[in-house]
Amino acid sequence: MGGSRLFEQPRHRHEVDRFLAFAQPPGPLAVEIGFDFGHRLFDHAQRWPGTRWLGLEVRKRQVEALAARAPSNLLPWRADARTVFAQLMPAGRLSRVDILFPTPWWHDGKRARRLLLTADFVADLARSLAPGGCVHVATDVGPYFEHVEGLFARWQPCDPPPVGEARSRRERVCARDGLPVWQGTWRRAEGG
């Protein structure tokens, strides 16, 4: 689900076309990366029907389950967010990107290649945001949040985007177990 030529392969053409058609109409386009069960994403799509919501998730079963009940303004897509942002995401298009509890692969050297939040990925986020668009990140791993703060050090902190009532699976676990959660929201700095 990665690789620089992935989306050029004929077997992925229909997925690419579907995504491009979904992203094309005017109006706000929001993305949630790693939505897992999609509780929050589904709630947002229902709550704000005037926004188009793209969900990127690599777990097949979760994507299929959400797709089966998704309203027309929600596109769950089984794809690696890094590849989508690097190769396909239109520039200046996104009103918000939510990344809730990204997997902290960084702690395992062998899996570092799977790390989502890197300098390259943050550059792709910057390119894809519309003016005023923001990136929101939450994690319960303190050192990972320090890593994220470093990546966004030259961005501008801003208010978190509005959320509905539904919580993601990990948000629920953290609330239940009283775990600390670090959150940050940033938009591109002026001229950045």
Q: Footprint of ligand SAM on this chain (CB under 6 A)? A: 33-36, 56-59, 80-82, 100-103, 116, 168-171
Please identify, using beta-carbon distances, which residue of 81 and 97 lies nearer to ligand SAM.
Answer: 81
3-state secondary structure of 184: strand
> What is the closest distance, in whole angstroms, from the C-beta atom of residue 131 to ligand SAM in the complex?
25
Give me the residues paired with residue 134 across strands: 96, 187
> What is the closest distance, in whole angstroms, from the C-beta atom of residue 30 to ligand SAM in the complex?
14
Burial class (CB in 10 A: 0-12, 13-18, 19+), 127: middle
Please identify, using beta-carbon distances, which residue of 69 and 154 lies nearer to ligand SAM.
Answer: 69
> What is the closest distance, in whole angstroms, from the C-beta atom of residue 170 to ligand SAM in the complex?
3
Contact 84, 55 (CB under 8 A): no
Give me the residues paired with residue 138 across strands: 100, 183
Please identify, using beta-carbon distances, which residue of 132 and 180 lies nearer to ligand SAM.
Answer: 180
Please identify, using beta-carbon distances, which residue of 32 and 155 lies nearer to ligand SAM.
Answer: 32
Q: Which residue is nearest to ligand SAM (CB)?
A: 34
Return d(Cα 124, Cα 172) in angstroms, integer.
Answer: 30
Give me the residues paired with residue 186 across strands: 135, 157
